[in-house]
Chain A
Amino acid sequence: MLLSIRHLEKRYADHVALNDVNLEIPKGKIFGLLGPNGAGKTSLIRIITQITGPDAGEIYFDGEPLRLEHADQIGYLPEERGLYKKMKVGEQLLYLAQLKGMRKEEAIAKLKEWFIRLDIKEWWNKPVNDLSKGMQQKTQFIATVVHEPKLLILDEPFSGFDPINANMLKDEILAIKERGTTVLFSTHRMDSVEELCDEIALINHAQVVLSGNKDEVQNRYKKNQFAIRFEGELGSISGIEVVSSQTGNAILRFSEGISTNEAIAKIIQQVRLLEFKEVIPSFNDIFIQVVSETN
């Protein structure tokens, strides 16, 4: 485990932000932190980044109790992000890299690699003010990863990104994961969860209400439903309930004790089966279901 969070509590004057939060974030995985606005995601992230402290509970980073020095091994891209407007791109990134404990020469070398990699060589001496929003986002991303952190925390990384930059970001996140970095990423965008995450946790009302491996969670929320495409007329079949149907398409639910093979055997007696697929619940559906259940 790269990060173990145990019995974390955080209270503000008028509300509880985190209530007995426990999470295990495995090394080298992409961990999705999901939850509606105000659920406590940002509070949790700010405690991990040591911007604020918890009221109770412990955090272990790579096996050690979280300390100030660990800040240099964490890269953080906050949801609300900005840059010094009047500084030049290069010197600004150099400053931020040095604040993360990099030596100057080392930082310059690494930054140059990133400038070449993202094809922005000519930006080094540009003031941030002259950059477009997309360009600023690339700059911010470099600032987050240049010191090669063990843990990369991305809070709503895709918000405000255009599709091209969003794709670039996705590729970079996957590449970083390949190099062994753990990524903790908080989002509303369920499509990116499905594409990127290995593990997820859903927070609602200051508590973890769902967590686990992505596939395992999806399996848990399967409703034993199957989608079929067919030719012919589908009548009623014993042990099979038609949840919905349109011409040539239907969603079916099988009763307990009927195996897929038996069901298929029954279906092909009536229609010519073109396609048969298990309905995997989308994270969007799971999200809505769990949040409304726990509200």
Chain B
Amino acid sequence: MNKILLVIQREYVTRVLKKSFWISSLLAPVLITAIYAIPIWLAMKDKEQKQIAIFDQSHLLKSTDLQDKELVFTFTNIPEQAFKTQFAKSGYDAFVSIPVDVLANPKGVHIYSSKNIGLTLKESVERLIQNKVRQELMYKAGISEKVYEDTQVDIDSETITVSENGGETSSSSAGAMILAGIMGLILYVTLLLYGSQVMNGVIEEKSSRIIEVIISSVKPYQLMLGKIIGVGLVGLTQFVLWIVLTIGLTQVTGKLYASKTKAIAQMSQLEHGKAADDMAKAMQDSPMGEVTKVLESTNIPLILVAFLFYFFVGYLLFSSLFAAIGSAVESATEAQQFTFIVMIPIIVSFLMAQNTMQDPDSTIAFWASMIPFTSPINMMVRLPYGVPMWELALSMGLLVFGFLACSWISARIYRVGILMYGKKATWKELSKWLFYKG
């Protein structure tokens, strides 16, 4: 037992002391914070205003119709042809010409610019004109402006999950989807990442020929288990760093934004409410805002515990298979012919997770979250939507069973494989090793 601890310690320490470990541990929280902070920053940033000259031959539009945060319209009487020639000198970003018969000929609107105009600008201009034209057409058809305004309602539903005993929790399906997606993606990446680290570690020991010295001191299964657990602990350490750093960074950026909003508010009393509103809205609209909403309505400790469980046990299952592959080959390139068999379940479960995300209670999603190979990713994807406890317990039990079965098979291949040199491993060969006597 003591020897397993030594192996775990070596695997852990040599990896955690590597520069690459710290780079990836620091970079990910920075990226996550950026995803969170950039939309807010963009929303808060003062937008550059575009100057647009408008030549309205239909005399339909009034300056009150043309209100936009980013566009400043100036009516002009210079006809299209004349404007075109002096456009470059005029200082306008765009020149809009509306035909006399715009009501009958809505496609007759032209936008001129010296550079290619952005899609947003085009859409904003079109929207403003379109609104007015529609309004005018309605009016002509006998519908008053008031009736038109009243018909412009927005539907924004609130989703509520009802538990078995009738209790209600408000939930956000968009947020659940995002949270599910993030967790599924993290599991997918980390299972592959740490699984292949185990494989490469085994290949390193075999190809550097230190293996025989080591297994004259410890049993092969102790070495395999020690390596798998050691690398797994590196993974857990990285998760903890990610979580702590991400929370820390987002708190700091949140405070920075808050103080900035306050400063703006103090400068202009008029804008007081608006700035705060803008920020609150941006927060809500940003993906992290949706996730925050879900986090408020879900059982976070349960999700965290389940996540760590599915990562660790799922990782144990896959990495034991990766270790078996590593033991059977002598180089990483030779390993490729076998790794696909382990990667396929991971990739398939990630693909199935797309379906699970859309329809978390379908039969496929249920089975995907039960079968040990696909369950880690798919159960984590289902979890934010709410899963009965018995299903969760069954899935976890099956995963533990799957791990025990896989590690038994892997250990048998491993103990033979690590001492096999110069013999090209084939599937037939591997299956024979299963039945070798100690």
Contact = CB atoms under 8 A, between A and B. Distances in A.
Interface of A: 13, 46, 49-53, 55, 68, 71-72, 74, 76-78, 80-87, 95-96, 98-100, 140, 143-144
Interface of B: 3, 6-7, 10, 14, 204-205, 208-219, 419, 421, 432, 436-438
A55 B212 contact: no
A124 B205 CA distance: 21
Contact of B212 (A80, A85, A96, A100): A80
A185 to B, nearest CB: 15
A55 B217 contact: no
A98 B216 contact: no
A13 B215 CA distance: 22
B216 A76 contact: yes
Question: B208, B213, B438 — which one has the most chain A CB atoms within 10 A of its CB?
Answer: B213
Contacts of B212: 51, 76, 78, 80-81
A84 B208 contact: yes
Nearest to A140: B213
Given A53-B437, A76-B213, A83 B208 contact: yes
A80 B209 contact: yes
Contacts of A76: 212-213, 216
Contacts of A81: 209-210, 212-213
Contacts, number: 66
A68 B2 CA distance: 14
Contacts of A46: 419
Nearest to B209: A82
Contacts of A71: 216-217
A100 B209 CA distance: 18
Contacts of B6: 95, 98-99
B213 A74 contact: no
7 contacts: A13-B432, A71-B216, A76-B213, A78-B216, A80-B421, A82-B211, A95-B6
Given A52-B438, A53-B437, A99-B6, A85 B217 contact: no
Contacts of A98: 6
A96 B218 CA distance: 10
Nearest to A74: B216
Contacts of A72: 217
Contacts of B209: 78, 80-82
B208 A100 contact: no
A99 B218 contact: yes
Nearest to A143: B213
B437 A49 contact: no
B10 A49 contact: no
B334 to A, nearest CB: 18
A77 B211 CA distance: 11
Contacts of B214: 96, 99
Contacts of A87: 14
A95 to B, nearest CB: 5
A80 B209 CA distance: 6
Contacts of B10: 95
Contact of A51 (B7, B216, B432, B437): B216
Contacts of A95: 6, 10
B208 A51 contact: no
B217 A82 contact: no
Nearest to A147: B217
A55 B437 contact: yes
B234 to A, nearest CB: 15
A84 B210 contact: yes
B421 to A, nearest CB: 7
Contacts of B419: 46, 51-52
Given A71-B216, A77-B213, 11 more contacts: A13-B436, A46-B419, A52-B438, A53-B437, A81-B212, A83-B210, A95-B6, A96-B214, A99-B7, A99-B214, A99-B217
A46 B7 CA distance: 21
